[in-house]
Chains A and B, each alone.
Chain A
Amino acid sequence: MGDVMTVEQKKIHPYKFNLWLGLAGIIMMFAGLTSAYIVKRSQPGWESFTLPRIFLYSTIVMLVSSVTIQVALKAFREREMARYRLFFGITAILGIVFMIMQINGFYQFQANGMKMIGIGSNPAYSFILAIAGVHVLHVLGGLIAMLVIVSRVYGKKKRNYDSVPIEIMTTYWHFVDLLWVYLFVFFSLLH
Chain B
Amino acid sequence: MSNEIAVQHGVIPHEVHEHHDGHHHHETFITKYVFSQDHKMIAKQFLITGIIWAIVGGLMSVLFRIQLGYPDATLPWLEDIFGHWAKDGKIQPEFYYALGTMHGTILVFFVLTAGLSGTFANLLIPYQVGARDMASPFMNMLSYWFFVLASIIIMASLFVQTGPASGGWTVYPPLSALGDASQGSKIGMDLWLISMAMFVVSQLLGGLNYVSTILNMRTKGMTMTRLPLTIWAILFTAILGILSFPVLFSGFILLLFDRHLGTSFYLSDIVLGGNILPNEGGSPILYQHLFWFLGHPEVYIIILPTMGLVSEVMSINARKPIFGYMAMIASMFAIALLAFLVWAHHMFVTGLNPFLGSVFVLLTLLIAVPSAIKVFNWITTLWRGNIRFTPGMLFCVGFVSMFISGGLTGIFLGNSTLDLHLHDTYFVIAHFHIVMGVSAFMGMFAGIYHWFPKMYGRYMNNTMGYIHFWVTMVCAYVIFWPMHYEGFAGMPRRYYDYSGWESFKHFVELNRVISFAAILSFLVQLMFVFNFFYSIFKGRKVTTQNPWGANTLEWTTPIRPGHGNWPGEIPEVHRWAYDYGKDGKDFIPQTEPVGKDESTH
Residue B404, interface by CB 8 Å: no
Give the residues in chain A near B250, CB-CB below 8 Å: 29-30, 32-33, 36, 134
B264 & A8 in contact (Cβ 8 Å cutoff): no
Q: For A7, list chain B residues within 8 Å (CB).
A: 13-14
Kindly state the separation between the CA atoms of A31 and B250 in the bound complex, as whole angstroms.
9
Given contacts A11-B14, A32-B293, contact A17 B254 (CB under 8 A): no
Counting CB contacts under 8 A, is B253 at the interface? yes
Q: Does B257 contact A (CB under 8 A)?
A: yes
Please report which residues of chain B, range 115-164, place their CB below 8 angstroms from some CB of chain A when the two chains form the complex. Answer: 135-136, 139
- Minimum CB distance partner of A134 in chain B: B253
**Contact A22 B247, beta carbon cutoff 8 Å:** no
A15 proximal to B (CB < 8 A) = yes
From B217, B254, B278, B280, contact of A14 by CB (8 A): B217
Binds B, one of A38-46, A58-66, A78-86: A38-46
Q: Which of A25, A40, A45, A129 makes the CB contact (< 8 A) with B245?
A: A25
Identity of the chain B residue whose Cβ is nearest the Cβ of A5 in the assembled complex? B13
Choice from B136, B212, B251, B261 contacting A118 with Cβ under 8 Å: B261
Q: Is there an interface contact between B135 and A15, defined as CB atoms closer than 8 Å? A: yes
A17 touches B262 (CB 8 A): no
CB of B117 to closest CB in A, whole Å: 15
Comparing B282-290, B423-431, B461-469, the segment that makes contact with chain A is B282-290
Closest to A137 in B: B253
Tell me, rounded to whole Å, the shortest Cβ–Cβ distance linking A64 to chain B: 28
Interface size class of A (residues with CB under 8 A): 35 or more
> Counting CB contacts under 8 A, is B204 at the interface?
yes
Q: Chain A residues with Cβ under 8 A from B14's Cβ? A: 7-8, 11, 13-14
Chain A, 1-21, CB within 8 A of any chain B CB: 3-4, 7-8, 11-15, 17-18, 21
**Min C-beta distance of B357 to chain A, whole Å:** 17
B289–A117 contact, CB under 8 A?
no
Q: Is the CB of A126 within 8 A of B264?
A: yes
Q: Is the CB of A18 within 8 A of B286?
A: no
Counting chain B CB atoms within 10 Å of each CB, the highest count among A17, A26, A127 belongs to A17
The yes or no answer to B510 lying at the interface (CB within 8 A) is: no
Q: How far, in angstroms, from A117 to B261 measured CA to CA in the complex?
A: 5
Cβ of B365 < 8 Å from any Cβ of A? no
Closest A residue to B135 by CB, please name it.
A14
Min CB–CB distance A7 → chain B (angstroms): 4
Q: Number of residues in B with C-beta < 8 Å to the partner?
A: 44
- B208 touching A130 by the CB < 8 A rule? no
Most chain A beta-carbon neighbours within 10 Å: one of B16, B250, B261, B262: B250
Residue A123 CB within 8 A of the other chain? yes
- A126/B283 in contact, CB under 8 A: no
Q: A32-B290, A130-B257 are in contact. Are A15 and B16 (CB under 8 A)?
A: yes
Interface string of B210-223 (1 = CB under 8 A from A): 01110111000000
Q: Measured between alpha carbons, how far is A22 from B482 in the docked complex, in Å?
A: 44
The answer to whether A123 touches B251, judged by C-beta atoms less than 8 angstroms apart, is no
Interface residues of B in 359-373 (CB under 8 A from A): none
Residue of B204, B243, B278 with most partner-chain A CB within 10 A: B243
Q: A15-B16, A28-B244 are contacts. A45–B208 as well, Cβ < 8 Å?
A: no
Q: Pick the residue among A13, A28, A39 that contacts B16 (CB under 8 A).
A: A13
Question: Could you say which residues of chain B place their CB within 8 Å of the CB of A129?
Answer: 257, 263
Closest beta carbon of chain B to A113's beta carbon, Å: 16
Do residues A36 and B253 form an inter-chain contact, with CB atoms below 8 A? no
Does A163 make an interface contact (CB < 8 A)? no
Question: A24 on the interface (CB 8 Å rule)?
Answer: yes
Q: Enumerate chain A residues within 8 angstroms of B253, measured Cβ to Cβ.
A: 33, 130, 134
Q: Would you call A132 an interface residue if the criterion is a C-beta within 8 Å of the partner chain's C-beta atoms?
A: no
Residues from chain B with a CB closer than 8 A to the CB of A46 are 281
Q: Count A-B contacts at CB 8 Å.
A: 132
Tell yes or no: B565 within 8 A of A by CB.
no
User: Given A14-B217, A18-B135, does the pair A123, B278 have CB atoms closer than 8 Å?
Assistant: no
**B317 in contact (CB, < 8 A):** no
Interface membership of A119, Cβ < 8 A: yes
List residues of chain A with CB within 8 A of the CB of B13. 3-4, 7-8, 11
Instruction: Indicate whether A171 reaches chain B with its CB closer than 8 angstroms.
Output: no
User: Which residue of A is nearest B207, CB measured?
Assistant: A21
| Contacts A11-B14, A21-B211; A32 near B281 (Cβ below 8 A) | no
Q: Is B249 an interface residue (CB 8 A)?
A: yes
The residue of chain A having its C-beta at the shortest distance from the C-beta of B209 within the complex is: A18
Chain B residues whose C-beta falls within 8 Å of the C-beta of A17 in the assembled complex: 135, 211-212, 215-216
Residue on A nearest B262 in the bound complex, by CB: A118
Q: Is A108 an interface residue (CB 8 A)?
A: no
Chain B residues whose C-beta falls within 8 Å of the C-beta of A155 in the assembled complex = none
Nearest B residue (CB) for A47: B281
Contacts of A134 in B (CB 8 A): 250, 253
B187 within 8 A of A: no
A116 to B265, CA, bound (A): 11
Chain A: minimal CB distance from B129 (Å): 13
Whole-angstrom CA separation of A22 from B239 in the bound complex:
11
A44 CB, nearest partner CB in chain B, Å: 7
Complex CA gap A30/B245 in Å reads 12
- B242 at the A/B interface (Cβ < 8 Å)? yes
Q: How far is the CA of A36 from the CA of B204 in the complex (A)?
A: 22
A24 to B253 CA separation, bound complex (whole angstroms): 18
Most buried by A among B136, B245, B262, B281: B281
- Please give me the 6 A-B residue pairs with the lowest Cβ-Cβ distance, nearest first: A45-B281, A29-B246, A14-B135, A32-B247, A126-B263, A32-B250
Q: Chain A residues in contact with chain B, CB under 8 A? A: 3-4, 7-8, 11-15, 17-18, 21-22, 24-26, 28-33, 36, 39-40, 43-46, 116-123, 126-127, 129-130, 134, 162
6 A-B contact pairs sorted by A residue (CB < 8 Å): A12-B216, A21-B242, A32-B290, A121-B261, A130-B265, A162-B19
